[in-house]
Structure 1
Amino acid sequence: MDSHVVISDSKSTTVDHDLQADVLAEYDASTTSVVTRTEEALLEELGDADGLIVDAGVPVTARVLETSSLRVVGRAGIGVDNVDLEAAADEGVTVVHHPTYSLDEVATHALSLLLSGVRRLPRYDRSTRSGNWDWTEGAPIPRLQGSTLGFLGFGKIPRRLATMVQGFGCELIAFDPYVADDVVRSHNVEPVDFEDLLSAVDLLSIHAPLTEETTGLIDEHALETMDENVVLANTARGPVIETDALVAALEAEDVGFAALDVTEPEPLPSDHPLLELENALVTPHTAWYSEASRRQLSRGIAADVGRVLVGEDPHNEVTVESSWV
């Protein structure tokens, strides 16, 4: 084999390692599969590898890029906030991702979280399992029709979600300073500024990438600005929401319901208050997943890494300047 690729998941299950090995073999690349969650552990496993494939939980830092012989990093997913893109550019390392593999899955999961929050399904489920049979357990429940659904970020996933909910009778609004107003309106969604988004929403679906600008964007002020019955769903990145502020708002019932597929930290400790609250729902960063999306992701990332290793142009390169949401 001409090249070697390390496949490093933080969970060992995000991608299909055997499928990726088969795909990379077509590009004369051998593979090693490891589980790493820290910079130090990753450095110990890299050796003289030419390529690296990682999930969201593996930190590809400047030190990793500067001290390795990597030529390409494949981020098995959409977001690349765990890869130092500036350092990659400085070191001449190509970074690839897969910006479309799970659009339908994440949009569907976000919709499921929103509807579960509106209808208070987790609270009803817990109550029924404990032996009760009481329709008032989730009261008061608002009517979905006529409510305002807002999107924080309006990239590919929220655009798909906006299409899904067109028949629900909701008013749709979005804040995204990087998307032109006419693009937003072309999806029957009205562009608004951030403060207007917060003050108007009955339901808020978070789709912003994790950047310095968006870290902690949903803070105490943002939560206070929203209606006390608001339903929040986050399928983007956990640190977009200030966790302590959210917990305080939920405990004080200043937020109606929070449905989270991503958290900060991730995973949550077993004694974290979010796991105890009746008005919160947490899923284990699974919005991306279906069997079809997992196969598509595994094959697509491996093929793009292979292309770089044999001197071809990748299909989905991402850089500091790229729009990757």
Structure 2
Amino acid sequence: MQKWKVVVTDWEYEDLRFEEAVFSPYESIELVPAQCRTEDEVIAACADADAIINQYAPISAKVIEALEKCRVITRYGVGVNTIDLDAATAKGICIANVPDYCMDEVADHALALILSWTRKITLADRYTKEHKWDFKVTQPIYRLRGRTLGLVGFGKIPQALAEKVKPLGLKVLAYDPYFPADKAEEKGVTLVSLDELCSTADIVSVHAPLMAATKGMIGSRQFDLMKQDTIIVNTSRGPVIDEAALVAALQQGKIAGAALDVVEEEPIVRDHPLLSMDNVILTPHVAWYSEEAAEEMRSKAAMGVVDVLIHNEYPKYLVNQSVRDHVALKPTQAGERYAALV
């Protein structure tokens, strides 16, 4: 019987019970846990792996070159910035993610940050606990209805957020060069340029994936365009915002504040200037999390391995579509398998 070695390069969970549950019907799969941090550690653990499940450990071109027989790499979560996609594609390795596991969670968290900042909830809480019972510490607060929310990116999560804010009376703009304008209009959202969004929106919510084209896309130029009472929210990836430019904009009063679930370097360093700013809300990259989302993400990441190794199919959530030019697999028939996980 063919035996398949599946290595989990790294994880931050208490166990691998959901992954084990997905693999348990298949005696041919051997799940090998590792806790890699460096390229060399990944190579040592994965050189002879048939499949890899990855969280944060680097899957660089150097690592991929050392993989002797890997057919698929799946990643916990949406982003695949830990993996060199070009190198994997050239070697015929399928890359899969889990793009749909936490849409409501992240949209809810972005909305919570918006409401918390605009109503000054965390600031009021802090001062009240310091026995400063005075509404004036929150001034100014502006009515939310009638203001404009600008979404940077208009994928599934910002679409969900746009739907959630409708009852609040917000006007919604979005910047997404890949999304059809007529489809956005059907959702009650107007597509605009990034410059127009930054100069118009009262709240800028960032939802762009991290890639070469988006790294630092919100920088000094964009902050210069924003109004002084604008706030910026980020629940995507920290490096999409030029953090030095953000700090400067906050210190110089170019914008009113920020609410961030992600930063450039995580965890945030102890002496970071953002930590001492009353007009900044920070949460520890938790927007994705609920108990249900965690189970779904981990189970679907494991199922992507099953798609390839057991069924000889392209994974349902194939990221590098051009790998089809390098490796021939069957079209995915994974609908029922995934439905059982949700």
Q: Which TM-score applies when normalising by structure 2?
A: 0.89
Letter in 2 for 1:317: L
Partner of 1:153: 153
Letter in 2 for 1:312: E
Deviation at 1:34, TM superposition (A): 2.2
CA–CA distance in structure 1, aligned partners of residues 153 and 263 of structure 2: 18
Aligned with 2:33: secondary structure? strand
Aligned with 1:287: secondary structure? coil
Is 1:43 the counterpart of 2:43 in the alignment? yes
Partner of 2:127: 127
Q: Quickly say closer, same or farther: Cα 1:208–1:170, change in 2 above 3 A.
A: same
Deviation at 1:38, TM superposition (A): 2.7
CA root-mean-square deviation: 1.6
Work out whether residues 217 and 241 of structure 2, in 8 Å CA contact, stay in contact via their aligned partners in 1: yes
Please say which structure displays the higher CA radius of gyration. Answer: 2
Letter in 1 for 2:76: A
Structure 1 portions without partners, runs of 5+? none
Partner of 2:286: 286
Partner of 2:220: 220
Structure 1 stretch 236-245 or stretch 248-257: which is displaced more?
A: 248-257
Work out whether residues 89 and 322 of structure 2, in 8 Å CA contact, stay in contact via their aligned partners in 1: no
Higher RCO, 1 vs 2 (CA within 8 Å, ≥6 residues apart): 1
Moved over 4 A (4+): none
Is 1:33 the counterpart of 2:19 in the alignment? no
* CA deviation vs aligned residue, 1:79-135 (integer Å, no higher than 9, x gap): 112211111111111111111111111111111111111112221122112221110
Letter in 2 for 1:199: S
Partner of 1:88: 88
CA–CA distance in structure 1, aligned partners of residues 12 and 33 of structure 2: 8
CA–CA distance in structure 2, aligned partners of residues 201 and 23 of structure 1: 44
% identical equivalent positions = 39
Deviation at 1:67, TM superposition (A): 0.6
Partner of 2:184: 184
CA–CA distance in structure 1, aligned partners of residues 166 and 17 of structure 2: 40
* CA deviation vs aligned residue, 1:235-260 (integer Å, no higher than 9, x gap): 11111101111111112222212111
Structure 2 portions without partners, runs of 5+? 324-342
Is 1:139 the counterpart of 2:139 in the alignment? yes
Partner of 1:202: 202
- How many residue pairs end up in the alignment? 319
| Counterpart mapping for 1:1-325 below 5 A | 2-9=3-10, 12-13=12-13, 17-27=16-26, 28-55=28-55, 57-69=56-68, 70-310=70-310, 311-319=312-320
Deviation at 1:320, TM superposition (A): 6.1
Deviation at 1:16, TM superposition (A): 5.4
Q: Quickly say closer, same or farther: Cα 1:296–1:193, change in 2 above 3 A.
A: same
Partner of 2:330: none
* CA deviation vs aligned residue, 1:46-103 (integer Å, no higher than 9, x gap): 2411111112x22211111111132110011111122111111111111111111111
Letter in 1 for 2:308: V
Q: Which TM-score applies when normalising by structure 1?
A: 0.94
CA–CA distance in structure 2, aligned partners of residues 36 and 151 of structure 1: 36
Letter in 2 for 1:23: V
Work out whether residues 98 and 300 of structure 1, in 8 Å CA contact, stay in contact via their aligned partners in 2: yes
